[in-house]
């Protein structure tokens, strides 16, 4: 199984794992599960921290790549195909972070770990939370 972590799922893994549901926690803890950590999440965390919408330790932001590597997750860069699909979605959902993560989940054939009901507007995205 391959999982793509929504930004909040990644953040909670590092800071408040008790907020993750047992099934997601179990799969994320299983070494046989492939986990993708998107560059979109790095951008979203840094951007929201700068705007004051999130209060994050600078070490988390400065050590993002190292933290991903320490978890043995795979960094997922944003490709042209991800960007084109995100721009083509017929959904009126306006959050560019969500649109890119949805496109990445589809193209990479990964299950998106997310609590966010906004992803219901992308019916092609398989989601995991319960």
Please count the residues of the chain: 130
- Total domain count, the chain: 1
Q: Which of 96, 85, 120, 124 is nearest to 7 (CA)?
A: 96
The mean pLDDT of 32-46, rounded to a whole number, is 97
- Give the model confidence (pLDDT) of 5-36 as tens digits: 999 999 999 999 999 999 999 999 999 999 99
Looking at the predicted structure, is the pLDDT value of residue 57 above 90? no
pTM for the predicted model, two decimal places: 0.94
**Angle at which helices 96-107 and 39-51 pack, to 10 degrees?**
170
Looking at the predicted structure, is the pLDDT value of residue 130 above 80? no
Per-residue pLDDT at 67: 94
β-bridge partners, 5: 113
CA gyration radius, the chain:
14
CATH of the domain at 95: 3.40.50.1010
Domain that holds residue 123: 2-128
What CA–CA distances, in Å, run from 27 to 17, 30, 67, 100?
Answer: 13, 5, 18, 23
């Amino acid at each position: 199984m391959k999982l793509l972590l929504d930004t909040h799922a990644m953040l909670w893994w590092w800071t408040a794992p008790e907020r993750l549901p047992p099934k997601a926690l179990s799969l994320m803890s299983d070494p046989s599960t492939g986990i993708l950590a998107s560059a979109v999440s790095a951008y979203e965390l840094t951007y929201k921290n700068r705007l004051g919408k999130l209060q994050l330790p600078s070490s988390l932001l400065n050590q993002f790549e190292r933290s991903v590597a320490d978890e043995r997750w795979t960094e997922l860069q944003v490709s042209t195909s991800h960007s084109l699909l995100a721009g083509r979605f017929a959904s009126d959902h306006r959050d560019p972070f969500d649109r890119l993560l949805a496109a990445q989940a589809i193209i990479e054939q990964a299950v998106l770990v997310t609590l966010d009901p906004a992803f219901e507007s992308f019916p092609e995205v398989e989601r995991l939370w319960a």
